[in-house]
Each structure stands twice: as C-alpha cells, then as structure tokens.
Amino acid sequence: ASDTASDESIMNTNEEATLCKLDAVRLGYWDDPFLSQMIHGTLRHERKAPDMYKGYYARVKCVERLVLNFIQTIKTSKGVEASVQIVNLGAGYDTLYWRLKSNAALNNAVKIKVVDLDLLPVISKKSHAIRTHKKLCDLLTGEVRDGEIPHAELHSEGYDLVSADMRDTDEISRKLVSACKLDPNIPTLFIAECVLIYMSTDSTKKLLTWIAQTFRTCAFINYEQVRMNDHFGEIMFEALKAQGCLLADADACETLEMHENRFVRAGWTRAQAGDMNTMCQSLPQTDIQRVDRIAMIDEPEVLQQLFAHYCIVWAYKGADSTGLGNIQL
Ligand code: SAM
C-alpha cells in the first residue's frame, strides 16, 4: 500500500474515538476527569451500542494495566533512581499524562516523562485545550515553553507535545531526541493505540526498526485489528477502507503471530500478542461485572467476535535484568 490516504480522514478517527470514550466515561465505564476538557463540547456524534463502549473500556483498561506494569517493573529493577519515558504515538486527545500525574503515589516513586506525538492539526487543538483548561495546565510542571511550532508544540519538565509524521523516521528522530531530549539510555515505553493500521506495512517496519536501534531498553504496546482475513474481519476492513484512511496491508494483521513477528523482525527481543477476549481475563473480574451491569449486551457472541478482531501486542527490547521479559499479557 502507498501512503496516500487523506490525513484529514485519519485525524477524524481521533475525534470519533474521543467522543466514544467520552460517552463511555459519562455512562460510568471508567473514570477520566480530564477527557471532557480535551474536546469541544458542541461536537456531536451518534450514540453507539453497548458493545462499542465495552470495547473502549477493555482497550483503555488493558493498555493502562500494561503501562503501570512497565513502570512498576522498571521501578523494581532500578530502585530509587528509577526514571521512565513514555511516548504516545498518534496520541490524539489521550489523557495518559494527566491520569499518571494525578496518581501521587506513582509520581513519588518514579520519575516519569510523557511525550504525546501526532500530526500538526491534532497537536494544535490539543495544545489549545491544555493551555486554556486550568485542570490540564495545573498538572504541567517546571517552565512551560513553546516548541519549534509556537502555540502548537509545547515542552515542560515531565510532558512534551510534538507534531511529527510517524512515516518519516528522520522527523521522529529530530523531534524525540533533539527537541524532547529523550535519553536513549532511559527505559522507554512506546504506545500506539489504533494507530499503526493507518500506516503502510513498510512505514511501520521502518519506525519499529528505528526505535529498537535507538533505545537501549524499550517496550511497545500496540492495540490494533487482527484476523482481518475471516468473514467478520473482511467486513471491518472494508468499513475502514470506506472511511478513506486505511493504509496497512490486510495481510499485515491477519494473525497474532504476524503481529508478533513484525516486532521480532524489526530487532525487538520478544513480542506476545493476545486478542481482547484473552486480554480481558487479566482485568479485575469484579470490575468487568460492574461494567456488564451498565448496559445489557444483546448478543454476547457478537461482542466476542468483535473482541476476537482486536489485539494487544506487548514487545520489548533489552537485557533480562530489566525484568521486562517477565511482564505477561
Ligand atoms: N491513540 C489515540 C486514542 O487511542 O485515543 C488516537 C487514536 S486515532 C484512531 C488515530 C490517531 O493516529 C489520530 O490522532 C491520527 O492523527 C494519528 N496518526 C495517524 N497516522 C499518523 C502519522 N502518520 N503520524 C502521526 N500521527 C498519526
């Protein structure tokens, strides 16, 4: 596939994802006091079926569990000196920095730096939201200064917001290493939530290779579609194509093994992938029961199908002593 899909339709997927997450938060699926500040209150979209909200719940909670696991593992191996970097690729309006920052116990134990990276129009709107909402602004620390692109990019002690096209590894390198001053020797976690599907297989390979070659100890959480070659998957794939923003080749995400191999071939030590039916088993079952009481799922087998078509890949690169190899899906 060539990289010619419209950036505008790709960026629209962020507003739609944020509106869905916001609905789910308002309905009580999970708590996020920061999300409503990120998006313009007047944007409207269709209310979704409970399956969709449960899908967002599983995605947010499973990613969050692995992020906390990564931080805890580095803390255990490095002790009081522990410091981590987290790069949210195609971050959209994700609130990870604020959710982590408002967890005082975590911040007292580990030094955390978060970088949100996305295309410029998304970064500009996120920057405006951060600068104009006290609840978001108050959690930035140290001097807050403009980046290379004033009023859009920003840098602070523990949080950076930068624009870059992930298809261009030179630009990614310049922004992460030169502008955000990420240290290649500090353990670094990369997150891509519903993002790599919008890149060609070749661009993803270049990006994963660059990360593995640049950072001494690193991990990756990728949330993406899988099994796009069966009947249900083909319907999903066609729907994505119809939105005009799909670039990945269908065969890049056919099986869990292909998802894992993509990382190993790009120089990562090990990768494990699990579909969302499997991933949900590691969430607290009492919380899943609570969520199941919010709205009746009409056809549980359809939800199961949906969850079989999304997966999380956990990949890491580094020595055994980091403990990253012990993190289980
Ligand atoms: N990760 C966020 C989340 O889960 O809420 C946003 C997901 S949204 C479906 C996809 C995001 O990836 C959009 O914000 C889009 O702008 C970003 N994106 C897609 N291709 C990109 C690229 N080549 N470079 C940078 N960002 C990209």
Q: What ipTM was estimated for this complex?
A: 0.99
Residue 246, pLDDT score? 66
CATH number at residue 246: 3.40.50.150
Distance of alpha carbon 268 from alpha carbon 291, whole angstroms: 35
Position 79: which residue type?
A: G
What's the CA-to-centroid distance between 7 and ligand 1, angstroms? Answer: 10
- For residue 46, give every residue at least 6 positions away whose Cβ sits within 8 Å of its Cβ, in sequence order, or none: none
* 284 C-beta neighbours (distance < 10 Å), count: 10
Mean pLDDT in the chain?
93
Instruction: Render pLDDT for 161-188 as a digit per residue (tens, 0 to 9).
Output: 999 999 999 999 999 999 999 999 999 9
Please check whether residue 50 lies inside any domain of the structure: yes
Strands 154-155 and 111-118: unpaired
91 lines ligand 1 (CB under 6 A): yes
Asked if residues 279 and 329 have their Cβ atoms less than 8 Å apart, the reply is yes
139: its two tokens: 């959690």
Least confident of 17-26, 98-107, 246-255, 285-294: 246-255
Tell me the mean pLDDT in the region 317-325: 92
Domain span at residue 269 reads 7-118+170-324
Please check whether residue 149 lies inside any domain of the structure: no
Domain count, the chain: 1
Q: What percent of the chain has pLDDT over 70?
A: 95
Please check whether residue 299 lies inside any domain of the structure: yes
172: its two tokens: 């990614």
Distance of alpha carbon 37 from alpha carbon 102, whole angstroms: 15
Instruction: Render pLDDT for 198-242 as a digit per residue (tens, 0 to 9).
Output: 888 999 999 999 999 999 999 999 999 999 889 999 898 888 888
Please check whether residue 80 lies inside any domain of the structure: yes
Please check whether residue 158 lies inside any domain of the structure: no
- For residue 184, give every residue at least 6 positions away whose Cβ sits within 8 Å of its Cβ, in sequence order, or none: 177, 214, 215, 216
First to last CA, the chain: 31
Distance of alpha carbon 39 from alpha carbon 22, whole angstroms: 9
29 lines ligand 1 (CB under 6 A): no
Counting from 1 in the atom list of ligand 1, the atom nearest the Cα of 11 is: 16
Please check whether residue 104 lies inside any domain of the structure: yes
Nearest protein Cα to ligand 1, atom 14 = 92
Tell me the mean pLDDT in the region 32-59: 88
Q: Look at residues 244, 243, 242, 262 and name the one whose alpha carbon lies nearest to residue 252.
A: 262
Tell me the mean pLDDT in the region 130-136: 97
Please check whether residue 159 lies inside any domain of the structure: no
Mutate to test the pocket of ligand 1, among 14, 122, 169 (most ligand atoms within 8 A of CB): 14
- Phi, psi angles (nearest 5°) of residue 225: -70, 155
Please check whether residue 135 lies inside any domain of the structure: no
38 lines ligand 1 (CB under 6 A): no
Instruction: Render pLDDT for 264-319 as a digit per residue (tens, 0 to 9).
Output: 999 999 999 999 999 999 999 999 999 999 998 889 999 999 999 999 999 999 98
Residue 2, pLDDT score? 41
94 lines ligand 1 (CB under 6 A): yes
Would you list the DSSP string of 142-198?
Answer: S--EE-SSTTT-EE-SSEEEEE--TT-HHHHHIIIIIIS---TTS-EEEEEES-GGG
Q: What is the sign, positive or negative, of the torsion defined by CA atoms of 132, 135, 138, 141?
A: negative
Helical (H) or strand (E) element with 106: helix 104-109
315: its two tokens: 């990949």
Residue 247, pLDDT score? 64
Residue 1, pLDDT score? 38
116 lines ligand 1 (CB under 6 A): no
17 lines ligand 1 (CB under 6 A): yes
What's the CA-to-centroid distance between 269 and ligand 1, angstroms? Answer: 26
Distance of alpha carbon 92 from alpha carbon 78, whole angstroms: 31
Distance of alpha carbon 134 from alpha carbon 104, whole angstroms: 18
90 lines ligand 1 (CB under 6 A): yes
What CA dihedral angle connects 243, 249, 255 and 261, to 10 degrees?
-130
96 lines ligand 1 (CB under 6 A): no
